[in-house]
């Protein structure tokens, strides 16, 4: 009997890999959203659609991003590599105090949607990239990652029997969605107006007097207003998620699609976004699996407390698609039996402010280690200073109106912060220098030191040295044109040595690109376009073969 089940499992996995009945996989990605979902215990939230996802699937309540800010965490999500190890840890690479640059991952590292493309998946995203080795907007990253970058329901462009993988980004919950009044720059004002255009057709039913103010924020009108705006934007997002689910259903694809909901990091409120506290890195993670693909016993309305890192998402999706995890990925499939004992996160430059902190978290304890003596938690980041709550807190600090707990974030960050998350979920009482916790502290310090030694390939470089390494003399390198060989109507394409590891694509019309994997047969009177791109570099010139 045992051998029979093993055989059946093998056949099931092989069926997923080699047939056209592999599942579709869709990630719905919120910007700046902590797990504020009613079905997950938040009684203020109005989230009927997300509640239904919770009831239909499995929720992972201990899911954490690798950073408290979007581009860094998205780079880790897409590659399965911690952002430090690929030089993507500064927010942002393309708009910092150094000469603008992009991260250039090692030559063998590929974004997992590109791997899915190689195995026959149609891949798409909408409107937002922001991977540090790309710009923010469509058309600014490697052309080999996505078949489509600007369609909301990109699956509608795939071939009829082709499985798809997509990431739909919903920006309504972004920090800027709480901005009101005058902004401190023309650019920020434009962002505010864009956000307002996504909100205008929706109601805002959550009133400021109904929200709960955490102890590290002052209970003021401004703070309550911003928290209420965050909840109302989540209410809007919930309706947008419903529209996506309805579109899948109307296209008769819902029963064939694994749906995953998550966020790129925590809320956009002060002391949430950008921080390594749970308020900054704990995110919702919900997965709904149709019965026909449920090889992992994911039951409706269940919850798991296993520790999950954003680094685990890429291996998990490859696992679902029946594809082996590449050797370089740091995470592991959270559908496997092996569980993480710890997760890790990092904070580096934020806008124009430098700082270096690292964190390790177990189920009960978190250690945050500061490598930048003298920096404060609440750095004066121009973008965040547009929040009315932030302005109010600055004023209260100046007038000595914040209480002891609320002042902590404005103080210099100590070298070590140790928190008991079970008894202190808001991470207020630092136990690092108290008696009785030295054994826990030593354990977490050891784990953090080991992790740093494995992932610090770029971490010791100054950003100036890093940008010079990636873009010598401040110039973005250009990928070399590949070499081609035609023998008996068989076309072979290879990278030149200086562009080793670049992704190669080919097209029959110059618009729709395929990933080159093996020699191509050339048909009479057929046009072929060829180009290559190394992540973080410019594309090569196009090679044209034809009449």
Hey, which residues are catalytic here? Answer: 70
- Residue in 4, 44, 64, 502 with CA at minimum distance from that of residue 262: 64
Contact 520, 490 (CB under 8 A): yes
Is residue 295 within 8 A of residue 9, CB to CB? The reply is yes
Q: Residues 33, 266: contact at Cβ < 8 Å?
A: yes
N-to-C CA span, the chain: 62
User: Which value, to the nearest 10 degrees, does the dihedral of the CA atoms of residues 373, 377, 378, 380 take?
Assistant: 30
Distance CA 173, CA 52 (A): 19
How many separate helices (H) and strands (E) can be counted in the chain?
Answer: 12, 21
Query: Can you tell me whether residue 415 is helix, strand or coil?
Result: coil
DSSP sequence for 423-467: T-TT--S--TTSTT-HHHHHHHHHHHHHHHHHH-TTTTS-HHHHH
Other beta carbons less than 10 A from residue 190's beta carbon: 12
488: which strand partners?
none
- Look-up of token digits 């047939």: 19
Q: What's the half-sphere exposure (Cβ side, CA atoms, 13 Å) at 243?
A: 10
* 91 to 13, 37, 320, 328, 353: CA distances (angstroms): 39, 28, 31, 23, 10
- Matching residue, tokens 């993480």: 340
Strand-by-strand arrangement of the 285-288 sheet: 122-125, 164-170, 24-30, 257-263, 285-288, 58-60, 302-304
CA 504/CA 146 separation, integer angstroms:
13
Nearest CA-CA partner of 260 in 69, 77, 76: 77
Tokens 């989540």 correspond to 234
Query: Nearest CA to 314 among 145, 141, 454?
Result: 145
Coil, helix or strand at residue 272: coil
Q: What is the DSSP string of 333-371?
A: -TTSS--BS-EEEEE--BTTB---EEEEE-SSEEEEEE-
């Amino acid at each position: 009997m045992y051998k029979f089940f093993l055989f059946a499992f093998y056949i099931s996995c092989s069926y997923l890999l080699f047939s056209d009945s592999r599942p579709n996989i869709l990630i719905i990605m919120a910007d700046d959203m902590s797990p504020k979902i009613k079905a997950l215990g938040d009684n203020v939230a109005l989230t009927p659609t997300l509640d239904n996802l919770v009831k239909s699937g499995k929720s992972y309540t201990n899911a954490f991003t690798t950073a408290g800010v979007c581009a860094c965490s998205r780079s880790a999500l897409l590659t399965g590599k911690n952002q430090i190890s690929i030089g993507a840890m500064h927010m942002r690479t393309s708009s910092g105090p150094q000469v603008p640059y992009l991260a250039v991952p090692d030559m063998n590292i590929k974004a997992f949607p590109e791997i899915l493309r190689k195995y026959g998946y149609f891949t798409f995203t909408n409107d937002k990239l922001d991977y540090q080795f790309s710009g923010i907007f469509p058309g600014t990253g490697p052309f080999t990652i996505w078949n489509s970058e600007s369609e909301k329901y990109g699956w509608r462009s795939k071939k009829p029997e082709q499985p798809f993988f997509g990431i739909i980004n919903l920006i309504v919950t972004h920090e800027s969605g709480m901005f009101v009044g005058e902004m401190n720059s023309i650019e920020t004002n434009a962002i505010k107006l864009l956000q307002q255009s996504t909100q205008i057709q929706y109601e805002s039913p959550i009133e400021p007097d109904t929200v709960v103010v955490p102890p590290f924020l002052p209970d003021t009108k401004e703070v309550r207003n911003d928290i209420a705006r965050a909840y109302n934007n989540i209410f809007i997002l919930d309706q947008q998620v419903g529209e996506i689910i309805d579109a899948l259903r109307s296209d008769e694809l819902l029963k064939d699609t694994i749906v995953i909901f998550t966020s790129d990091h925590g809320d956009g409120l002060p002391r949430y976004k950008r921080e390594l506290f749970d308020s900054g890195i704990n995110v919702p993670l919900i997965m709904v699996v149709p019965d026909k693909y449920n090889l992992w016993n994911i039951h409706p309305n269940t919850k798991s407390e296993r520790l999950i890192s954003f680094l685990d998402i890429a291996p998990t999706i490859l696992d679902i698609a029946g594809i082996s995890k590449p050797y370089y990925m740091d995470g592991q499939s959270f559908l496997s039996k092996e569980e993480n004992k710890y997760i890790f996160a990092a904070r580096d430059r934020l806008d124009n402010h430098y700082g270096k902190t690292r964190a390790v978290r177990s189920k009960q304890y978190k250690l945050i280690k500061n490598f930048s003596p003298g920096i404060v938690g609440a750095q004066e980041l121009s973008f965040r200073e547009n929040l009315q709550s932030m302005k109010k807190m600055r004023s209260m600090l100046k007038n000595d109106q914040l209480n002891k707990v609320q002042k902590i974030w404005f103080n210099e960050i100590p070298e070590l912060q140790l928190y008991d998350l079970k008894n202190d979920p808001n991470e207020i009482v630092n136990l690092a220098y108290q008696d009785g916790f030295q054994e826990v502290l030593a354990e977490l310090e050891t784990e953090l030191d080991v992790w740093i030694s494995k992932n610090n390939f770029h971490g010791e470089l100054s950003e100036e040295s890093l940008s010079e390494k990636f873009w010598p003399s401040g110039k973005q390198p250009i990928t070399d044109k590949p070499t081609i060989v035609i023998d008996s109507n068989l076309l072979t394409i290879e990278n030149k040595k200086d562009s080793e590891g670049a992704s190669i694509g080919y097209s029959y019309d110059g618009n729709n690109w395929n990933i080159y994997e093996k020699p191509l047969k050339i048909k009479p009177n057929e046009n072929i376009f060829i180009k290559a791109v190394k992540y973080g570099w410019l594309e090569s010139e196009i090679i044209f073969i034809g009449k």
